[in-house]
Amino acid sequence: MCGIVGYLGQREAYPIVIKGLERLEYRGYDSAGIVLYDGEKAKLCKTKGKVTDLKGKAESENITTGSIGLGHTRWATHGEPNDVNAHPHLSNSGNLAIIHNGIIENYGSIKKELEKRGYTFHSDTDTEVLVNLIEDIKEKEQVKLGKAVQIALNQVVGAYAIAVFDKSKPDEIVVAKLGSPLAIGVGEGEFFIASDASPFIEYTNNAIYLEDEQMAIVRLGRDVKVRQIKDDKSVAAYVQELQLNLDQIEKNGYDHFMLKEIHEQPHAIKDTYRGRLRTNEGIIKMAGIEDNLEKFLNANRIIIVACGTSWHAGLVAEYIFEDLVRIPVEVEYASEFRYRNPVITSKDVVIAISQSGETADTLAAIKLAKQNGAFVFGVCNVVGSSIARESHAGAYTHAGPEIGVASTKAFTTQITLLSLIALKLAQSKGMISKTEFHQYLAEMEAIPDKVEKVLLSDDHVKYISSVYKDVPNFLYLGRGYNFPVALEGALKLKEISYIHAEGYPAAEMKHGPIALIDEQMPVVVIATKKGHYEKVVSNIQEIKSRKGKIIGIVTEGDKEVKSMADYVIEVPETIEGLTPLLTTIPLQLLSYHIAVMRNCNVDQPRNLAKSVTVE
């Protein structure tokens, strides 16, 4: 939920850490801080606000020199976002500095013990407690920093990715991880620490991703030493070559990452099916499914666990799996599933969907599923992420980095991947005719061009946005495959424009939400030709007769809805099961333009963070 960056080497740490924090701001952005050591003093600068505020403050206070540095961008858990609670935190002696992403759950009892021993605390954070615990152990036990960190972490309960340095030993940073991501960039005579590889990708392609319950001693002139936190045993450090490039993590001329990512969808969808969709051979190739085919085919049911937008992709998958494969599917909010004592058996297949692969609730849900003997299949975007590693098998969406907090390409690529899985299973189970299977493959291959076509409606959507940008409420309606799209459209609008919006199954409107409809209420209705068209048209009439405003998402050439709606946005025709890949696009653009027109921070909406690594 926070972003951490560290540098150890011969260069000035300041510009590297600041730039790294800017790239990690998607992880949290309510306060930020940096600590640098220049051979004499550990200089600390922290502020409420964004990295740009930190930059202004650090430069005005001349805190810009030193070749060892740690930086942090925060999404508050313990203590309100202010200068004092911002990280880094120093120990009481001022010798140790720490940055932390996660939560120390038993910090209260540790704090009391430390207070008895004379420690004082300036912030409300759990992190300040942790750094003082490490200091206390270091002094009491007369051990090196690495050992003190290891002992301390065996006393804490919670989640963390931490980096700590001791100013009396400025050639070393100690890092550790449990539940929050941590990457170590290995350069020529220099090291980088970060929540993901984006802060160091222009310096090195070599990275070590720590596993949970591992720590590492990063020391100049030495190889990185990885150890297990529990028993202090040494583990081989696996240095992997990254596939990431700088273009993928920059805006490339777009005003916002969200807009860039919306426009990347044709490409991202292709990347998802590349190598898997083999239209000429008439097959779908997916090793993760092929190797575990029996598990899927013998499953009593599939349980999908996810949060937010990924949960909406799960709902689309429910429709397509039940439709094509005829396996019962349940879609669960991971946060509910993990706590409600669900019935899980070894005949269940659990699919976890997560862009980041780090969402705490989804991770906990799959751990629970595994404990109960279920087979867990991960659908993640971030390669090597915790959920990907925790799953028995899985497949990546290959959407490329998604930096905008509002998920866009993650959603469409998840649907693409889940559709491929459904098709593959339907074929293996003999549930789909050869002709229908081939139609699906051809249509899937045509989707990127069709998405490209929908994107051409951008100016038209922008105009519609200008008409409705000041309304207080929006309603989104859809049926069948487009019901989850209605939910997703409403979520997008809420999270980035702060307009209240609700998504509903169109037919449910008359059971309540219809009471909200008056001449002020814009209703976005997804009314494509395939998918209960006539029924949705009746719903539109019901809205019309109560003077609601209609924005219809319709199939190209549609006349009927056009004659009733205030505005329509056309999408090309496709197979019903694939319509969400097209109907979602105008809804993403609508929320984007409305948010921009309302001067909202589109990429970093208030109170949110890209990956929710706390409960």
Binding residues (CB under 6 A) for ligand M6R: these are: 307-310, 354-356, 359, 362, 405-407, 491, 495, 611-612
In DSSP notation, 114-163 reads HHHTT----SS-HHHHHHHHHHHHHHHHT--HHHHHHHHHTT--EEEEEE
Distances (CA, A) of 94 to 6, 89, 125, 171, 614: 18, 9, 17, 17, 29
Could you tell me the smallest distance in angstroms from the CB atom of residue 605 to ligand M6R? 8
- Please confirm, yes or no, whether 2 is among the known catalytic residues: yes
Q: How many other C-beta atoms are found inside a 10 Å radius of the C-beta of residue 154?
A: 12
Could you tell me the smallest distance in angstroms from the CB atom of residue 603 to ligand M6R? 11
Of the pair 368, 405, the CB lying nearest ligand M6R is at 405
- Please confirm, yes or no, whether 610 is among the known catalytic residues: yes
| Beta partners for residue 428, in sequence order | none
Of the pair 344, 406, the CB lying nearest ligand M6R is at 406
Q: Give the residue at shortest CB distance from ligand M6R.
A: 308
186 in Cβ contact with 207 (< 8 Å): yes
Of the pair 324, 612, the CB lying nearest ligand M6R is at 612
Strand order in the sheet with 522-527: 500-505, 473-478, 522-527, 549-555, 567-571
Could you tell me the smallest distance in angstroms from the CB atom of residue 212 to ligand M6R? 17
Of the pair 110, 612, the CB lying nearest ligand M6R is at 612
Of the pair 414, 555, the CB lying nearest ligand M6R is at 414
Could you tell me the smallest distance in angstroms from the CB atom of residue 544 to ligand M6R? 31
How far, rounded to the nearest angstrom, does the alpha carbon of residue 542 sit from its chain's CA centroid? 38
Active-site option among 111, 260, 492, 610: 610
Of the pair 489, 531, the CB lying nearest ligand M6R is at 489
Of the pair 132, 355, the CB lying nearest ligand M6R is at 355
Could you tell me the smallest distance in angstroms from the CB atom of residue 310 to ligand M6R? 4
Q: Which backbone phi and psi does 528 adopt, to 5 degrees?
A: -75, 155
Could you tell me the smallest distance in angstroms from the CB atom of residue 441 to ligand M6R? 27
Could you tell me the smallest distance in angstroms from the CB atom of residue 418 to ligand M6R? 13
Distances (CA, A) of 160 to 48, 241, 336, 420, 509: 22, 25, 23, 35, 44
Q: How many other C-beta atoms are found inside a 10 Å radius of the C-beta of residue 17?
A: 31
Active-site option among 2, 45, 307, 600: 2
Length of the chain counted residue by residue: 615
Alpha helices in 6-125 (DSSP H): 13-24, 51-60, 107-116
In DSSP notation, 210-230 reads PPTTEEEEEETTSPPEEEETT
Could you tell me the smallest distance in angstroms from the CB atom of residue 362 to ligand M6R? 5
How far, rounded to the nearest angstrom, does the alpha carbon of residue 421 sit from its chain's CA centroid? 22
Map residue 103 onto helix, strand or coil: strand
80 in Cβ contact with 33 (< 8 Å): no
For tokens 């993590």, the residue is 249
Of the pair 277, 307, the CB lying nearest ligand M6R is at 307
- Please, what's the b/e burial string for 548-568 (b: 16 or more CB within 10 A of its CB; e: otherwise)? bbbbbbbbeebeebeebbebb
Question: Would you please indicate which residues are annotated as catalytic (active-site) residues?
Answer: 2, 610
